[in-house]
Amino acid sequence: MARKKTKAQPTPEVIAPVQDQLITDTIEKNYMPYVMSVIVSRAIPEIDGFKPAHRKILYTMYKMGLMHGARTKSANVVGQTMHVHPHGDMAIYETLVRLTRANEALLHPFVDSKGSFGKQYSRDMAFSAPRYTEVKLDPFCAELFAGIEKNAVEMVPNYDNTMVEPTLLPTTFPNILVSPNMGIAVGMASQICSFNLAEICDGTIALLKNPKTNIEKILDLIKAPDFSGGAQLIYDRDQMREIYETGRGSVRLRARYEYDKQNSCIDIVQIPYSTSIEAILKSVGDLVRDGKIKEITDYRDEIDLNGFKLTLDIRRGTDPDALMARLFKLTPLEDNFSCNFNVLIDGAPRQMGVIEILTEWIRFRRNCLVRELSFELGKKKDKLHLLRGLGKILLDIDKAIRIVRETEKESDVVPNLMSGFRIDEIQAEYIAEIKLRHLNREYIIERIKEIESLQQEIARLEEIIGDELKQKAMIAAQLTEIKKKYGKPRKTQLIYAADIADVPTEPVVENYPVRVVLTRDGYFKKITHQSLRGSDEQRLKEGDVILCSEDTENRAELLIFTNHAQAYKAKLDDFDTTKASALGEYLPASLNFEDGEYPIMLKALTEYNPKHNIVFLFENGKGIRVPLSAYETKTNRKKLTGAFSSASPIVAAVYEAEPVDLLLLSDAGRAILIRSTLVPQKATRTAGGVTLFTLKAGQKLKEVFHGEAISQIDGASKCKKIKIPATGVALSAADFGKKQLTLQ
């Protein structure tokens, strides 16, 4: 009987046990490879002055034959670059844009361009799509690729092993300090400013001649960074020395401008490399809108085919230098460029100063030169070897012809020539390939004459390869030629802090007499005396009354106390003048009062006299004198919290320049008349004060009169007190005279 087949049971899945691992080990294993990739293969430039993305684009264009001939569409370059650079097309194109002449990011552009490529100094000026723009290599790139076909640098396979690419470009000048470069890696960054090519060549030549050249000599030759945007650099030799020695520091740049007196405008023609025109326009616009800069009537971007220009229309009579001094302080028209010279040397990031970078470049360049000379030496030795074999058949040309003619098999021609003339296979191959027409004595003699010159050239090359001084002399000669051919005057002008005119940065406020008026409901007016001559009758909102009114000058500062125990400060010049017939400006809105907050006192001040005081009087009958100097601040603070005690509601605040009489009236109709000197003075603003008016339970201080207001109260004299605390004297309605309506 056949056995019944059973269904195969699935093999149970074996789950590996979970193993504990230190978080540091996890990070090292999973994160560190990414970190190293970003540092080494993306963000930090190498000694040739390029990041991998730049190098791959330029080499691709070189292999496309774009050193000569017509331009090609940028899209073609982007597509070809993908063979060596596995990134998106837009990432490649954005990198290409920065290398172009039209973008104006480089002192010496590498790409000759046609079309719109945006501008380095603009965030919003976008570049056109790659299908519209055209590019080719600039003639300057000949200095990047010199010797690349002679094994000057190592070539490695690309990412898919379909072609080779250079690890570095054999730049014949220190491009690392000529082209600006910025990169942010993981845990480190690099920001290298550009220097003038001619100055860098001079400094490098000095180091080639004397490796111990000191920093002071280098500072004389390489004066300071030079930026493609020009502008002015405020030169500080000590600061520059620190950058040259350590590779870290910052330089201050400021815009260059011209004053057009005829059109009453300032033309800004160059701005710092580290800012943008949008940032400047926004900053200037904010200052104009906020009323902090009143001299500018209009501002606009006037960039055209003639170049960069930002125009500021200014009021007639404005001092342009004083205005620009303020704008330098308040806007990015003056900005810092931070230097951080991080460079990859032999695959490891190093922060280096200028001399150290140039020394490393010289080492790199010598290696390129030796490789190039060794390549040439090998070629010349090979040629010499062939010519020596050719010289041997000169002795018997007929024999060579006979050997070739009598050889039955083609494969035996080379061996027969080798044995017949005692030459090696390479020489025999060369002789066998000579055309029949060249097998004559004249041709062979002419070729053999090259042997002597080849031997001399080989000896010269071997001598240079073995002599460091000769190598340095060759590099120096190349740098001298490069300076002569491509050197340009500095674009960035050097100025010294001592040479900057000392002009006031604060605006000159026009001064004239005014009257300030504040109402109980918070309406404020600044009225010129000339306007008051016509009519001084104040227009008020229905039910509103004048709280404060005094004559002062336009340069005064306003100090306003409110019921929330806060003080506000404002420049009187910030308020527009108005007429008595107008309601005025609503102060709570202008100064951003809190909900339910209203003014109780206003004082216009030209100085904070320490002998003057503010007397605060509270509902609980207490009072305090606070020195005016307690409200003076070193910074332009707009609001002071805790201006006085909030333990009891405030009734009145009185400014005391000289001792003044105060009449305190309670809600029970009783009053005391005291001298302000009786109120104790406290240095602490929030002190609760001492009792001035003895009030019964449930009673409170209702109103305070001072100055001329007391003279209108007939019964005031009978309330006079010379000690505190004091009990109030009852007043009748008849005692108040004109003020009788204030009694309930």
Q: 423 vs 265, 412, 413, 436, CA distance in Å?
A: 86, 14, 13, 20
Q: Identify any residues that bridge with 562 across adjacent strands, giving them in sequence order.
A: 599
By CB atoms closer than 10 A (0-12, 13-18, 19+), residue 741 is: exposed
Encoding tokens for residue 259?
A: 């004053």
Q: What is the 3-state secondary structure (H, E, C) of 122-191?
A: CCCCCECCCCCCEEEECHHHHHHHCCHHHCCCCEEECCCCCCEEECCCCCCCCHHHHCCEEEECCCCEEE
401: closest CA among 439, 435, 437, 430?
439
Rounded to 5 degrees, what are φ and ψ at 182? -135, 135
Backbone angle region of 427, left / alpha / beta, with phi > 0 → left and psi within -120 to 50 → alpha: alpha
How far apart, in whole angstroms, are the C-alpha atoms of residue 271 and residue 614?
50
Q: What is the 3-state secondary structure (H, E, C) of 74-132?
A: HHHHHHHHCCCCCCCHHHHHHHHHHCECCCCCCCCCCEEEECCECCCCCCCCCECCCCC
How far apart, in whole angstroms, are the C-alpha atoms of residue 106 and residue 522?
58
Sequence-separated contacts (24+) of 219-223 with Cβ below 8 Å: 219/244, 222/195, 222/196, 222/354, 223/196, 223/199, 223/490, 223/494
DSSP-derived 3-state class of residue 307: strand
Residue linked to tokens 């460029």: 337
Looking at 31, 34, 132, 159, which residue is catalytic?
132
At residue 567's C-alpha, the angle toward residues 546 and 594, to 5°, is 85
132 is known as an active-site residue: yes
Contacts of 448 (CB under 8 A, 6+ apart): 387, 390, 391, 394
End-to-end Cα distance, the chain: 126
226: closest CA among 253, 249, 255, 203?
253
Pairing of strands 693-694, 726-727: parallel
Q: 120 vs 99, 106, 125, 229, 236, CA distance in Å?
A: 11, 9, 9, 9, 26
User: Are 133 and 127 a contacting pair, CB within 8 Å?
Assistant: yes
User: Are 500 and 391 a contacting pair, CB within 8 Å?
Assistant: no
How far apart, in whole angstroms, are the C-alpha atoms of residue 572 and residue 587?
12
Q: 114 vs 7, 58, 81, 144, 556, CA distance in Å?
A: 75, 17, 19, 22, 59
How far apart, in whole angstroms, are the C-alpha atoms of residue 67 and residue 694?
99
User: Are 96 and 64 a contacting pair, CB within 8 Å?
Assistant: no
How far apart, in whole angstroms, are the C-alpha atoms of residue 271 and residue 266?
13
How far apart, in whole angstroms, are the C-alpha atoms of residue 283 and residue 333?
9
Q: From the CA atom positions of the chain, what is the Rg in Å?
A: 44
* Sheet of 701-706, strands arranged across: 701-706, 661-666, 670-675, 729-730
CA 284 centroid distance within chain = 17
Q: 146 vs 177, 317, 608, CA distance in Å?
A: 19, 59, 73
User: Are 118 and 125 a contacting pair, CB within 8 Å?
Assistant: yes
- 549-551-555-558 Cα dihedral, nearest 10 degrees: -20
User: Are 648 and 620 a contacting pair, CB within 8 Å?
Assistant: yes
Q: Which residues are catalytic?
A: 132
